[in-house]
Amino acid sequence: MGLLAFKISLVLLLVMPNILCGAISMTSQLDHQADTLLRRKSSLNSFSYGCLHTWSKRSSPCDWIGVTCSAMVPHHHGPNPNDAVQVVANISLRGCYLEGRLDHLHFADLSGLYDVDLSNNFLNGSIPSIVVYRRRKSSKVGDKSKSNAMVSILNFDGKIAFQDILDATECFDDKYCIGTGGYSSVFRAELEGGRIYAIKLLHSVDYTDEKAFHAEIQVLTKVRHRCIVKLYGYCSHSKCKFLAYDFIQRGSLASNLQDEQLAKELNWSKRVAIVKDVAQALSYLHHDYDTPIIHRDIKSSNILLDCDFKACVSDFGLAQTLKHNSSSWSTIVGTCGYIAPELSSTMVFTEKCDVYSFGVLTMEVVMGKHPGDLLLPFFCRTEQRTKLEDILDHRITVPTRAEEKDIILLMLAAFACLQICPKVRPTMQQACQALTNRICPTVILRPIQEVTLQDLHDFCRIIQTM
């Protein structure tokens, strides 16, 4: 039983004089490499014989489960296809319950190897540099940069980067903590080479359904959108679980709005762009991704801003994936003040719950603070005579005429999303489209001093037809 094996032709110091001599030498080399890898395998433990029961000297490594071979012409043989030999190109041992150290594995002799999948195992230690080389063609074999290794490690789900993260955070020392939430703490981890990651350490590791957790994170690592924080991978260790995200420089939208100086940097054009970014991200999750994803905790502290004030939606560590025309029963995991009102009675999460939270967030961006009591009229249906101008964030300059149009459009979208009945709310696709088109209804297109909150209530449903 062996972990890695392969079939590769002999490339020695002399040219093969004939086919028979070449075949004999190639077989001898294959046997030598197989023996070496089988000895290395003895340092690893496997509790699953399903993956490795075919891995033995009794058969060709190219016939082993998890091994894929392909033809490759050895160096110095020129382009002659007759010189092509079979080599190991791919090794996939995902979920084989392997236990041991990665630095005991050596891939230097696997000249044709370009992909290795060791995810969902219990391996630790530094990743062999040859794997970084195979996944990054521009690198040299001797390149052992840990920053590059980190990226490759995270492509394998991050579990094998366990020691790297511990070293970078000094075992999650408080001095590296940059934020704490209800179920996790976030740490700044800078690896050698300068690459920085945000590591979300989950507080509770008592998961009754480990497979469901892994499956959900696997889905989230495939999410790719410019307005969504990239999840590189995760570590599932017996003592802790953490997620590895891209590090976003300016921190959360909430912290920027709460700081008087930082809030002034968020002028009206930046705030309009931030809301549009969030709308695009949610529209993608709800409507454009393979399996619709409900965030369930949209709030200003989960919106991060990069150095160019581009907004990125974060905190998908425990997001819920749903199929079309279905819902998920679960405990409420949102944040008070952003949670859709129907959840208090139905406990059913749908995309419209995110839509409601987006409405609260949009008002918060315009006002510079959480709308608070301004949400009450949506419940008691009282008339709102307050002028829109009076609730704007006055820490920044007065909006221009063009910016007034954008603000009115933002507030129309917000009020449409805040409707008590979920069915009346627009989809995120509709809200995103309305904000992108920037077509403000003529019935409400007037100086902002003349627009009341009641006007926004009366005309907000136009959003669904824009």
- Which pLDDT value is given to residue 280? 97
C-alpha 431/C-alpha 453 separation (Å) is 19
- Which pLDDT value is given to residue 440? 80
| Encoded tokens for 432 | 């995103």
* SS (HEC) of 366-379: HHCCCCHHHHCHHH
Report DSSP letters for 148-188, one per residue.
HHHHHHHHTTSGGGHHHHHHHHTTT-GGGEEEE-SSEEEEE
- Which pLDDT value is given to residue 238? 63
C-alpha 219/C-alpha 133 separation (Å) is 26
Residue (of 428, 399, 417) closest to 270 by Cα position:
399
SS3 of residue 216 by DSSP: helix
- Which pLDDT value is given to residue 48? 43
Domain ranges in the chain? 28-124, 150-246, 252-464
| Residues recognised as catalytic | 297
Amino acid at 331: T
C-alpha 259/C-alpha 84 separation (Å) is 64
* Blockwise average pLDDT, block size 10, the chain, 466 residues: 35 34 49 64 56 71 73 54 64 68 64 65 57 34 35 36 80 90 84 85 64 73 90 74 88 95 96 98 94 91 95 72 42 77 86 96 97 85 86 95 94 96 96 91 86 91 83
- Which pLDDT value is given to residue 291? 85
Amino acid at 239: K
C-alpha 71/C-alpha 62 separation (Å) is 11
For the chain, the distance separating the N- and C-terminal CA atoms, rounded to the nearest angstrom, is 63
Q: pTM, whole model, 2 decimals? A: 0.66
Q: Does domain 28-124 have CATH number 3.80.10.10?
A: yes
7 carries a ligand binding annotation: no
Q: Decide if 5 contacts 87 (C-beta within 8 A).
A: no
C-alpha 288/C-alpha 241 separation (Å) is 29
For domain 150-246, give the CATH superfamily. Answer: Phosphorylase Kinase; domain 1 (3.30.200.20)
Fold of 252-464: Transferase(Phosphotransferase); domain 1 (1.10.510)
